Amino acid sequence: MADFNNYQNRTVDRVGSQAMIDEGLRSYMLKVYNLMALGLVITGLAAYGLFSLATTSDPSAAAVLSNGAPAIVGKTMLTSFGVMLFTSPLKWVVMLAPLAAVFFLSFRIQSMSVSAAQTTFWVYAGLVGASLSSIFLVYTQDSIVQTFFVTAASFGALSLYGYTTKKSLSGLGSFLIMGVFGLIIASIVNIFLASSALAFAISAIGVLVFAGLTAYDTQKIKEMYFEGDDTMVAGRKAIMGALTLYLDFINLFMFLLQFLGNRNNN
């Protein structure tokens, strides 16, 4: 009887411990997704807000070039702010600032407080939004919104698979990371070649690579959870997890936009 009681107590302890781990994991993953979602909201608001400030439908509000003509990109009139944002050397600062911010966060997060790391993530999301504001000059707003929802649905399904699958995706992850480097090299090469066929191939491969990375990174973030982490460590892990999934989402969105986006009739 004593042995049975000891066995029963050990079983109850294991069940209770597993329940605590499961609850902690759910809380941890929920924080990751909430941080990522808020980052996407900040990016969207920054992108559309800056685009609205940079363009106008009122000819009297459009910036005037040195030759006396209004500043126009395609059929979109630019304000003085738009000229500075989209046509001056400032555009390179806007394009490169997110890269500097993400490197800063990645390398310094272990020495940052959770609040500082979170603030840096918000700043980074805003900078990405600034760099993406120009997509409204290229694609119609309806197609951007539609592509966003397609991306969200695809991302949700892929992330759910990564969270629930029992199969290890570590081997796939190594292959996909190599694919990312290949995409970077091919994109740089195509700057000089300007090949539409290569651009199409890059977009197609990009969709596949970041679709796979979404599932892989979700599994990796889940495996990073440890119930013994203190608040500081758990907070930093959640922020880095959110940043990773945020990058997967943004890249998947941009590659899908090249397929699904309807270009403005310029």
Per-residue model confidence as pLDDT tens digits over 177-221: 899 999 989 988 988 888 888 889 999 999 999 999 999 999 999
Number of residues that this document lists for the chain:
266
Secondary structure of residue 13 in the 3-state scheme: helix
What was the pLDDT predicted at 57?
87
Cα dihedral 69, 70, 76, 82 in deg (nearest 10)? 130
What was the pLDDT predicted at 232?
92
What was the pLDDT predicted at 2?
52
Per-residue model confidence as pLDDT tens digits over 140-169: 999 999 999 999 999 999 999 999 999 999
Strand partners, 116: none
Secondary structure of residue 139 in the 3-state scheme: strand
The alpha-helical segments, DSSP class H, found in 55-113 are 80-86, 90-108
What was the pLDDT predicted at 126?
96
Residues contacting residue 186 through CB under 8 Å, at least 6 positions apart:
198, 201, 202
Strand partners, 263: 139
Distance CA 64, CA 97 (A): 28
Residue whose tokens read 């966060």: 105
User: pLDDT under 50 in the chain at which residues?
Assistant: 4, 7, 11-13, 15-17
Q: Where are the beta strands (DSSP E) in 115-234?
A: none
What was the pLDDT predicted at 18?
53
What was the pLDDT predicted at 7?
46
| Every domain of the chain and the residues it spans | 2-260
What was the pLDDT predicted at 20?
54
Q: Is the Cα torsion angle 240, 252, 191, 65 positive or negative in sign? A: negative
